Amino acid sequence: MHVTGASSGIGEACVARFVAEGATVIGSDVAEPEAGFAGVSFVQCDVRDAGGQQQVVEQIMADHGQLDVLVTAAGVASGGPVHSLDLEEWQRCQDINLTGTMLSAKYALGPMIAQKSGSIITIASVEGLEGCEGGSSYNAAKGGVVLLTKNLANDYGVVGIRANCICPGFIKTPMFHSVVDQMPWADEIRKQHKLRRFGESSEVAGAAFFLASDDSSFVTGISLPVDGGYTAGHAYGLAEMWT
């Protein structure tokens, strides 16, 4: 299997979970991981680099002869109201989060079509399911990932390839800490998760493992929130009155 964005955060947690389950994992990222995993091959690759992505898949096929699972965990934070948004920053966000996901799937699909099987698991966000203040570029990119994944399910289910999207809530990753820790309203964001806490990368990895496994063999085209109830509805503090 191939995990993009494997050096940290959700990607790193997915690598750890799949290795623990006995999978052969190839991780790619723009930077080498600080902590390696025994038996895992890491390839330095930017998801925006079509040629590099193609070479990663070609090497996987040369070394292992098949590619059963793709997890697209590479991503960056971005945002701002549209009237003040820098075009270059908008494009960077779309290129990494959306186009990078498309390119990862594009090159994984060749082997999967040939073997008539495969599971593509994209990582979007709750912000790809609903809007939020100041999230224009990131939300647009992650919303695109949600619909791209549905199209993959539509286009390739006929040859036995499943495609599903995970939409994490606010998960404690390096990207989370670089953004949310700076927000004076971070505790209000926490309270919007109905479990009243932020999530762990391992919890997203658990969902990815389910979607890669035979336990989800009849599941395709879904957008699965792993969000502690963030998208379940609005919370105004009433629950505290009776708990």
CATH number of the domain that 169 lies in?
3.40.50.720
Domain with 123 in it: 2-231
When pLDDT is cut at 50, 70 and 90, the band that residue 240 belongs to is: confident
- In this prediction, residue 91 carries a pLDDT of 97
Identify whether 156 is a catalytic site residue: no
How large is the average pLDDT for residues 190-212? 97
**Residue 239, domain member (yes or no):** no
**Residue 243, domain member (yes or no):** no
If we measure between CA atoms, which residue out of 14, 8, 10 comes closest to residue 30? 8
**Residue 76, domain member (yes or no):** yes
**Residue 52, domain member (yes or no):** yes
pLDDT at 34 over 80: no
pLDDT, tens digit, 9 for 90 and up, residues 218-235: 999 999 999 999 999 988
pLDDT, tens digit, 9 for 90 and up, residues 42-76: 999 999 999 999 999 999 999 999 999 999 999 99
Q: Which residues face 122 on adjacent strands?
A: 72, 165
- In this prediction, residue 181 carries a pLDDT of 80
The mean pLDDT value of the chain amounts to: 94
Do the strands 2-4 and 26-29 form a parallel or antiparallel pair, or are they unpaired? parallel
As a dihedral over the C-alpha atoms of residue 214, residue 206, residue 147, residue 4, rounded to 10 degrees, the angle is -100
How large is the average pLDDT for residues 125-140? 93
CA end-to-end span of the chain, whole Å? 44
Looking at the structure of the chain, the number of domains it has is: 1
pLDDT, tens digit, 9 for 90 and up, residues 80-113: 899 999 999 999 999 999 999 999 999 999 999 9
- In this prediction, residue 242 carries a pLDDT of 81
The residue to which tokens 């997915």 are assigned: 14
Encoding tokens for residue 107?
A: 């090159």
**Residue 240, domain member (yes or no):** no
pLDDT at 36 over 80: no
- In this prediction, residue 175 carries a pLDDT of 86
- What gap in Å lies between CA 100 and CA 103, rounded to an integer? 5
**Residue 30, domain member (yes or no):** yes
- What gap in Å lies between CA 55 and CA 2, rounded to an integer? 12
**Residue 186, domain member (yes or no):** yes
How large is the average pLDDT for residues 140-165? 98
Strand order in the sheet with 69-72: 41-44, 26-29, 2-4, 69-72, 118-123, 161-168, 223-226
Nearest 5 degrees, angle CA 224-CA 37-CA 10? 25
The residue to which tokens 């495609």 are assigned: 163
When pLDDT is cut at 50, 70 and 90, the band that residue 202 belongs to is: very high
pTM: 0.95
Query: Burial letters for 51-66: b for 16+ Cβ neighbours within 10 Å, e otherwise?
Result: ebbeebbeebeeeeee
**Residue 238, domain member (yes or no):** no
- In this prediction, residue 177 carries a pLDDT of 87
Among 138, 156, 230, 236, the one annotated catalytic: 138
